[in-house]
Amino acid sequence: MLNLLDNVNKQALTLKQLMEILKQKHNHQQVIELMKTYCLELPSLSLMKTGMEFLYINGFYDDLQQLIEKNEQSDNPSNRQWAAIYQLIIDRRMNRYSPHQLLQTINRMNTTETELRCLIEFVKVTAYYDLNQFNQIGNFLHRQQFLMEAIEDSLLVSYFNIRLHHIMLTYYLIRNELIMARKHAFRVLNLTDNPRTKASIHIKLALSYTFDTYEQGMYHLEEALKISRQNQLDHITHIIKNHNIPFLSAHFNRIEDIITDDKSEQAHIEMVRGNNQKAIEILNELPMDSPFQLYYMGKVKLDRDLLLQSYNLFIQERSDYFFSRLPLLELKRIDNESI
């Protein structure tokens, strides 16, 4: 490896150049491992910055924290600014800031570097996502695609594209444009080796079949569960087992052997069993502050007002035209049964 780099100006090395050098002698998995090592070790100011994106996109979060700290100590102000933004990205993953705090912080950052402007937009859109302000995603897509056209490092662009496809999956899913959503989902699966990302994509693909077929939805949940277990992603495993699988199973009336510690889904399962009073008792323990809670309560009580509130919250507060179909279908069912 060192011999390969002997005649290279290590200070000017780009992410793309390093990977091309490594590909001359190593297979894909070896290249990934060596890239991780050399992002941390090489003295290239450029690679110290863009290497953070390599570590992030491949799920090397502990190594990313090390490289952030290395950039923070740099004499170069650009490296320090890149470090500040990636620290925010890590802090968001660790829930150290609320989405509002994240937006306040990132909105104070100014730069002329196109790459950093792209990163700032990614931070903003993830904060909007956490706030369920999905209507902001459309504006983001227009700005981001314009910015990415001006970035010269093609490997960095490819990593930004993975992020972009992931966001577009969410965007098209909530717009109920399922063909487009699934297209972007499969693009991410083909572009990344990050197990956390792959599991997340399979979960969203599974949910995209909520109004289609149980079997296709469960296939993707089983794939997500397999990935999360193999990679000790305990938090994701817990969500799949206690929220996603119970939700999809109850939605399709396939609740045999399904257990969960999620109160909403416990109520959902009791509804399917015909234990409506038990479902109501469970839901009464929960705040009626989300469209899903209102949907469940409206469904079990056959309450049109609650279902309308749920529908309006999905549309007005989340711009979510996909899951708004849940209360809408229940309203139609109630109307049909009353004829």
DSSP characters for 237-293?
HHHIIIIIHHHHHHHTT--TT---S-HHHHHHHHHHHT-HHHHHHHHHTS-S-SHHH
- Structural domain total, the chain: 3
Does position 248 have pLDDT exceeding 90, yes or no? yes
Instruction: Tell me the pLDDT tens digit for each residue of 43-98.
Output: 888 899 999 999 999 999 999 999 999 999 999 999 999 999 999 999 998 889 89
Phi, psi at 199, each rounded to 5°: -60, -45
The average pLDDT across 99-121 equals 93
* Domain stop point among 163, 192, 221: 192
Q: Are residues 120 and 37 in the same domain?
A: no
The pLDDT of residue 11? 62
Q: Which residue has the tokens 């956390």?
A: 196
Q: Which two tokens stand for residue 17?
A: 């150049």
The average pLDDT across 280-308 equals 95
Share of the chain above pLDDT 70, in %: 96
Q: Which residue has the tokens 């309450």?
A: 303
Nearest to 2 by CA among 38, 28, 31, 55: 38
The pLDDT of residue 120? 95
The average pLDDT across 255-279 equals 96
Asked if residue 82 is part of any domain, the answer here is yes
Does position 331 have pLDDT exceeding 70, yes or no? yes
* Domain stop point among 192, 218, 237: 192
Specify the DSSP class assigned to residue 112.
Answer: S
Share of the chain above pLDDT 90, in %: 75
Does position 28 have pLDDT exceeding 90, yes or no? no
Q: Are residues 30 and 69 in the same domain?
A: yes
The pLDDT of residue 137? 82
The pLDDT of residue 12? 66
Cα–Cα distance, 163 to 123 (Å, whole number): 11
The rounded Cα 194 to chain-centroid distance in angstroms is: 12
Q: Are residues 65 and 120 in the same domain?
A: no
Radius of gyration of the chain (CA): 23
The average pLDDT across 313-333 equals 94
- The mean of the pLDDT values for the chain is 92
Asked if residue 143 is part of any domain, the answer here is yes
Q: Are residues 92 and 8 in the same domain?
A: yes
Asked if residue 121 is part of any domain, the answer here is yes
The pLDDT of residue 19? 87
Q: Are residues 66 and 144 in the same domain?
A: no
The pLDDT of residue 7? 54
Asked if residue 245 is part of any domain, the answer here is no
The average pLDDT across 135-155 equals 85
Does position 1 have pLDDT exceeding 80, yes or no? no
Q: How far is CA 309 from CA 163, 214, 292, 303, in A?
A: 33, 27, 10, 10
Asked if residue 262 is part of any domain, the answer here is no
Asked if residue 212 is part of any domain, the answer here is no
Q: Are residues 162 and 82 in the same domain?
A: no
Does position 333 have pLDDT exceeding 60, yes or no? yes
Nearest to 220 by CA among 204, 233, 234: 204
Contacts 24+ apart (CB under 8 A), 175-181: 175/319, 175/321, 175/322, 176/321, 176/322, 176/325, 178/208, 178/322, 181/208
Asked if residue 5 is part of any domain, the answer here is yes
pLDDT category, 9, cuts 50, 70, 90?
low
Q: By mean pLDDT, which of 35-44, 206-215, 301-310 is the weakest?
A: 35-44
Decide: pTM greater than 0.75.
yes
| Beta carbons of 203 and 166 less than 8 angstroms apart | no
Structural domain for 334, as ranges: 273-339
Asked if residue 222 is part of any domain, the answer here is no
The average pLDDT across 34-43 equals 89
Instruction: Tell me the pLDDT tens digit for each residue of 160-201.
Output: 999 999 999 999 999 999 999 999 999 999 999 899 999 999
The pLDDT of residue 219? 98
* Domain stop point among 192, 207, 228: 192
Does position 5 have pLDDT exceeding 80, yes or no? no
The pLDDT of residue 166? 94
The pLDDT of residue 118? 94
